[in-house]
Structure 1
Amino acid sequence: MPERLLDLVWSEMFEVYNFDEAIKRDGFVDVSAKQFHSLNYEPRKNTKIDHKVNQPKIFKDGGYSLLTRGFDTWRIGSFEIFQKLPTWKFPGDEVKDMSWPSYIETINPYEITGEPGALNAAHAAGIVEDFLGQEQVLTVSGRMRTPSFEFVVDDKLTGKSQIQVSGAQIEIDGGFEGRTPFGGNAGSPFTIFEVKNHISPDFVTRQLFYPLATWKQILPEKNIRTVFMTFANEIFDLFEYSFDQNDYSSATLVQHKRYSINLRKPKSSEIAELAQKILREAPKSPPKGIPFPQADDFGKVMDMLTFIAQEPRTNEELAVEYPLTARQTFQYYPDACQYLGLIEDGINEYGQKVRQATKLGKSITKMSYRDSTLKLAELILRIPPILDAYLNLMKTGELPSVESIARDFSKSPHAIKAKDEKPLSQSTIERRSRTIRAWVKWLENVAA
């Protein structure tokens, strides 16, 4: 697996400027945009690290992280800068389904793309108002600079570290003003939203804390609230966090609610009928040159398809967007999409290798939740080892074990290497059997 460009950039930065030595001596080191430019690197691109798994290898190895101090200054230290999110789950009874206003025609709730689109749809459908408990007006969005402020952050070496910030660039996806004082605070609320249009296991706390510190200075009488929102697989997850005064690491989850818009789930009987229909057809042969799926989280498969369908993506773009390991980002999850016929390899206008959506993949992203789920279920069930495991579930009422799936899968013509079609090793068979089981579980859980 080739190294990411981000890994190479930071490895050279550490070597040229002796960052390790400075951190060992002082507990931290400050990095300037000038240092990036002197090595012909773009500072903004190489300091945008939104998830823990996206960190450069040298940061992971040393236990380091990066905090922004100014427009062109960053600090490396052993800081705890990420906030873990609850594990994403497929929609159940906890999801509140909102009706789409019939008079709104400029937004299609079934074709929401991008973070602004997700937030606009959430606002239009009444999700923002329902979550915050009162009518809201969108008043702020876009980039701005922070004033000067200080805070403390948890430090694995010293316990706490003091950080000074001045003139750092922040970007607010949306700021909403309400009228009624909330939570015992005399001031009316102003709520800052950070939005991601993909499943996230965590986020860098700075995306909420810096805007919070900024607007506390601008509007000291307001009750400033902060919300992290994700939109993935037609589900809006909203998380409200509160912070202690000037403590970056004090994030406390106040509330978490889930929403959908006009969501209709397929029935279990519809998926079972699909399986019986496919059983009567000739079995599908393995696609040439594409490895059997090894991507346990089918939600991320769907999520990645949506991202790639927006426009062709390079490996670097996938690495920035997805909080996965390098192999999962560059290989396993895109390969799973490709195995299903949803994406393909391509070359963009700059001669770069990209992953791009097929006609089938694009069409699925434009379907309703029910129709897209049924189509994906059909594609999955056309893979014989998965069909067999699903039929076993239907017959016994119990999800087959990885061991029993592996026994059957090892005899399948699908249990071969993509490159030379030689048999898979036992360890690989077991890993791919876990994926089979996970996808069958998705088929079981995704229906009403």
Structure 2
Amino acid sequence: MEKIDVSQAWQKLLDKYSILEEIHEKGIYKIKSSQIKEVKEPRLMAKWDSSEQLPSSLKKNKINILPDSRSSYVLSDFLLYKDLPPLTEHIKNISTITLPDLETIDVDNITSEANAINVLQISGILEDFLELEPEDLLYETFDGRMSSGVFSFFVATDRGILRQVDVNKAQVEIDGGFESKNYVVILEAKNVLHEDFHVRQLYYPYRLWEGKVKKPIKLIFSIYTNKIFRLMEYRFREKENYSSIELVKVKNYSLEDTTISIEEIQKINLSIKPDDIISDTMSESSVPFVQADNFERIISLLENMNESSMTGEDIENLMQFTSRQKDYYFNAGKYLGLFEKFTEGGFIRYRLTNLGRKVYHDNYKNRQLLLVKLILSHQIFRKLFEETINNGQIPDRQRVIELELEYNVCSKSVASRRSSTVISWLKWIFNLPNL
């Protein structure tokens, strides 16, 4: 089997089996694992938890894939992903939870989804989120890989047509399954922040257990990042409609003090000495001006890079980035002094700088304030921050572009794209205060 990337592998299959033509004529193409294996291992070719990592050969043709058994999949212009709600209010509604004094749980180093689930259990976060009575105990009763059973459902497509999919014992993987007096709870846990998620991760487990139990099922999607547990409850309005998913509620929890005031942020700005302000002029800077809109994802990458250095491929697989996105987010971290490249054994690798490790090990409040200082140490961000304080609102895109060109931080051709990053970082800063 020749070494080709996933996008090239799918292009070979699209061409060999006239998949696009059959989808256009019949709506669906069913493909066997053995066919996929002709070009690459199926496990590498058929599972993307975020739409960002979809291979370009499928994405440009608006094709998505679902498993319908242990040895086959269906392809169509399915709409399979659900955008995660924005983090714009993520600090203001946090309930602080205190853990028991346990030696085997390091709350400053929750590095895996399994660790995050352990903390959700012992802290009482799940019980609080589910609004269980104190006497209503929650027991973890199932997890891991299992068979989906047999069921059918409808799913929306890009062409606006509901397509039927028949599933016969596909593989399902559940991060955490719980039962209380009144509910069965299915938990999908992540410790990396993405823009969206594959609804299959909740829908297939839901259909499996809905057919087995009499109690109502609660579906929880949990993300642990930047020392915050973010829990989202979802439901399906119609059992047999994959696309009927809707968000019920969101609540956020922290194990630390998260109180930050605008006065503390202003104090950080005033603490930056004039000699420490960085101009970012293209002729002087060795780092491209920022183009990474989601600041929380920079933090998520920092947290996951703390364990060890990573290859570019490691980052792309972990964060569900394209190669271009990986460069954008690495360069954004480098711009702040958090990330660096080095060569080992003739290969380029990525790691945290000493400053990056300091940010990682700081508590929640100090981490956020240090990140604010790193941003405001750059001339353009400092100027726009002060304009926001004075005017009571974040400057618009035109004003940002004007300053980008005035300070010569990027070329005119990319100024508009870069301005969206500048605005999103300013919004991140001004969303921190919660007093």
Q: Determine if the TM-score, normalized by the shorter chain, exceeds 0.5.
A: yes
Distance 1:90 1:157, change over 3 A: closer
Is 1:33 the counterpart of 2:38 in the alignment?
no
Alignment correspondent of 2:251: 257
Q: Take 1:301 and 1:155, find their aligned partners in 2: how far apart are those partners?
A: 32
What amino acid maps onto 2:16 in structure 1? V
Is 1:95 matched up with 2:87?
no
Partner residue, 1:185: none
Deviation of 1:277 after TM superposition, in Å, equals 2.2
Deviation of 1:172 after TM superposition, in Å, equals 0.8
Q: Are the aligned partners of 1:312 and 1:348 in contact in 2 as well (CA < 8 Å)?
A: no
For 2:25 and 2:185, how far apart are their aligned partners in 1? 41
Partner SS for 1:80: coil
User: What is the deviation of 1:288?
Assistant: 4.7
Matches of 2:129 and 2:48, distance apart in 1:
28
- Percent identity reads 29
1:305 aligned onto 2:325: no
1:110 and 1:154, CA in 2 relative to 1: closer, same or farther beyond 3 A? same
Deviation at 1:380, TM superposition (A): 1.2
- The offset of 1:173, in angstroms, is 0.8
1:293 aligns with 2:290: yes
**Selected match of 2:326 from 317, 330, 338:** 330
Closer, same or farther: CA 157–434 of 1 in aligned 2, 3 Å: closer
CA contact (8 A) 2:88 2:431 kept: no
CA contact (8 A) 1:84 1:202 kept: yes
| Contact 1:88-1:199 at 8 Å conserved across structures | no
Matched with 2:14 is: 14
TM-score, normalised relative to structure 2:
0.88
Q: Which runs of 4+ in 1 moved over 6 A?
A: none
> 1:367-425: CA deviations, max 9, x gaps?
2110111111121122122122223333444433333343333333xx35xxxxxxx42
Q: What secondary structure, in the 3-state scheme, does the structure 2 residue paired with 1:13 have?
A: helix
Matched AA of 1:336? A
CA contact (8 A) 1:150 1:165 kept: yes
Given the alignment, which residue of 352, 360, 365 partners 1:357?
A: 352
| 1:195 matched residue in structure 2 | 189
2:103 to 98, 105, 108: 105
**In structure 1, what is the Cα distance between the partners aligned to 2:308 and 2:397?**
36
Q: Does the CA contact (< 8 Å) of 1:225 and 1:242 recur in 2?
A: yes
Q: 1:227 aligns with which of 216, 220, 231?
A: 220
Which residue, 388, 391, 404 being the options, matches 2:386?
391
Q: What residue in structure 1 maps to residue 433 of structure 2?
A: 447
After TM superposition, the structure 1 = structure 2 runs for residues 227-246 of structure 1, keeping only pairs within 5 Å, are 227-243=220-236, 244-246=238-240
The residue identity in structure 2 corresponding to 1:140 is: F
- The 3 A distance-change label for structure 1 pair 334 and 368 is same
**Mean Cα displacement is larger for which, 118-127 or 244-253?**
244-253
1:126 deviates by 1.2
What is the one-letter code of the residue matched to 2:209?
Answer: W
How far does the alpha carbon of each residue in 1:307-357 deviate from its partner, in whole angstroms, 9 at most, with x for none? 222333333343344356653x222121100111111123567x6533222
Q: Give the equivalent residue in structure 1 for 2:417.
A: 431
Tell me the alpha carbon deviations over residues 141-165 of structure 1, each in whole angstroms, 9 at most, x when there is no partner.
2222222222222244583322222
C-alpha contact 1:28 1:77 (8 A) present in aligned 2: yes
Counterpart Cα distance in 2 of 1:54 and 1:296: 17
Q: 1:278 to 1:348 in 2, by over 3 A?
A: same
1:131 maps to which residue?
129
Query: Superposition RMSD on alpha carbons, in Å?
Result: 2.5
Q: Which residue of 2 aligns with 1:149?
A: 151
Aligned residue number for residue 371 of structure 2: 376
The match for 1:75 is 74
Q: Is the 8 A contact 1:153 1:162 kept in 2?
A: yes
| TM-score, length basis structure 1 | 0.86
Cα distance between partner residues in 1 of 2:108 and 2:227: 8
- 1:44 CA drift (Å): 0.5
Using the alignment, how far apart are the partners of 2:412 and 2:139 within structure 1? 58
Distance 1:46 1:395, change over 3 A: same
Aligned counterparts of 2:162 and 2:420: Cα–Cα separation in 1: 41
Shift of 1:130: 0.8
How many matched pairs?
Answer: 423
Per the TM alignment, residue 192 of structure 1 is displaced from its structure 2 partner at its CA by 0.6
1: CA distance between counterparts of 2:166 and 2:60? 26
Asked if structure 2 preserves the Cα contact closer than 8 Å seen for 1:111 and 1:365, the reply is no
**Contact map agreement 1:389 1:437 (CA 8 A) in 2:** no
Structure 2 residue matching 1:50: 3-state secondary structure: coil
Distance change (3 Å), C-alpha of 1:352 and 1:165: farther
